[in-house]
């Protein structure tokens, strides 16, 4: 589930607005980025131009809120069709690096053919992990998957709209893998639907954009048949999970508009954390 429709007026903090203005300016003169995204896909009904714009918005958050540096080594877990990679092609310098990993073979093939060919420092990896929603023929359980990267390797790990499609056992394993792969002091940016008294009230009173009517242990989902369609987690559970894995959450947590709470941020909530 992608971020809500663009609303430039209230989307950014001051620094973010400035940064976005620069990106936007550069966008108009950087031809060819749209061609890096697949024409055959209307990802969550967004076309290529919208994907480029939302990718740039997230990059603005990485830079202004998380302090992402141009020479960073980045891991993008659940990179999909390269929405964030395309934004990063214009930010990371030759000292930086990017690895994207996903469980949809066609998406990885596309990114490798289009993005790696033009930007060799951008590498994409397929993980044959089972997901009822995204890779029903996958052979490995997410909770058993060992990421093919050394420990302490990455400065920055991104999971954008990925934990919102994963169940608790898998989430727990991924958080421990993120903690392993991040260098000390490194940063993780991850989006969620967080359940707390306010969002629960909005769900119960029908104000939330997503119903999350099916309850599991520490989570809720919108679909009994395909639980990974959209998963929300108890906020306290997520906070404890980070703490157990040596990840310190930067406050405040940024809440999104999905539950229709008043916020300046995106559709999903996002959590920024640093490895101790």
Positions in the binding site for ligand SAM (CB under 6 A): 77-80, 83-84, 102-104, 107, 129, 131, 134, 142, 160-162, 165-166, 170
Question: Which structure tokens are listed for 207?
Answer: 């104000």
Residue 25, exposed/middle/buried by CB under 10 A (0-12, 13-18, 19+)? exposed
Of all helices (H) and strands (E), which one includes residue 274?
Answer: strand 269-275
Would you say 141 or 207 has its CB closer to ligand SAM? Answer: 141
Phi, psi of 131 (to 5 degrees): -150, 125
Give the nearest distance from C-beta 6 to ligand SAM in angstroms. 15
Q: Which is nearer to ligand SAM, 92 or 129 (CB)?
A: 129
Q: Judging by beta carbons within 10 Å of its beta carbon (0-12, 13-18, 19+), is residue 31 exposed, middle or buried?
A: exposed
**Residue number, nearest CB to ligand SAM:** 80
- Least Å distance, CB 225 to ligand SAM, is 17
CB of 123 to ligand SAM, least distance (A): 15
Q: Cα(237)–Cα(239) distance, rounded to whole angstroms?
A: 5
State the minimum distance, in angstroms, from the CB of residue 149 to ligand SAM. 13
Shortest separation between residue 145's beta carbon and ligand SAM, angstroms: 7
Cβ proximity to ligand SAM: between 189 and 242 the closer is: 189
3-state secondary structure of 67: coil
Nearer of residues 79 and 92 to ligand SAM, judged by Cβ: 79
Nearer to ligand SAM, 149 or 200 (CB): 149
Compute the least distance from the CB of residue 203 to ligand SAM, in Å.
Answer: 21
Q: Which is nearer to ligand SAM, 106 or 185 (CB)?
A: 106
Structural contact between residues 16 and 267, judged by C-beta atoms closer than 8 angstroms: no
**Residue closest to 125 by CA, chosen among 152, 95, 146, 153:** 146
The runs of H, that is alpha helices, within the chain are: 8-11, 14-29, 48-64, 83-88, 105-111, 117-118, 168-181, 197-204, 235-244
């Amino acid at each position: 589930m992608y971020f809500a429709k663009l609303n430039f007026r209230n989307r950014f903090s001051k620094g973010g607005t400035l940064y976005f203005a620069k990106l936007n300016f550069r966008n108009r003169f950087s031809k060819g980025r749209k061609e890096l995204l697949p024409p055959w896909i209307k990802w969550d009904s967004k076309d290529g131009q919208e994907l480029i714009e939302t990718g740039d918005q997230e990059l603005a958050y990485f830079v202004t809120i998380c302090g992402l540096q141009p020479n960073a080594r980045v891991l993008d877990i659940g990179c999909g069709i390269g929405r964030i990679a395309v934004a990063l092609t214009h930010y990371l310098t030759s000292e930086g690096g990017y690895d994207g990993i996903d469980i949809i073979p066609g998406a990885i093939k596309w990114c490798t053919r289009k993005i790696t060919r033009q930007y060799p420092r951008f590498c994409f990896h397929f993980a044959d992990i089972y997901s009822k929603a995204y890779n029903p023929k996958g052979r490995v359980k997410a909770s058993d998957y060992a990421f093919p990267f050394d420990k302490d390797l990455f400065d920055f790990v991104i999971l954008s709209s990925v934990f919102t499609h994963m169940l608790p056992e898998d989430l727990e394993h991924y958080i421990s893998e993120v903690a392993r792969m991040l260098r000390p002091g490194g940063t993780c940016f991850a989006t969620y639907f967080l359940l707390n008294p306010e969002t629960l009230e909005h769900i119960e009173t029908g104000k939330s954009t997503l119903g999350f009517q099916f309850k599991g242990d520490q989570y809720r989902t919108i679909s009994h048949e395909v639980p990974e369609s959209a998963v929300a987690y108890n906020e306290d559970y997520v906070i404890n999970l980070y703490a157990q894995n040596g990840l310190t959450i930067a406050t405040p947590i940024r809440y999104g508009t999905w539950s229709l709470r008043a916020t300046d941020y995106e559709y999903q909530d996002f959590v920024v954390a640093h490895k101790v």
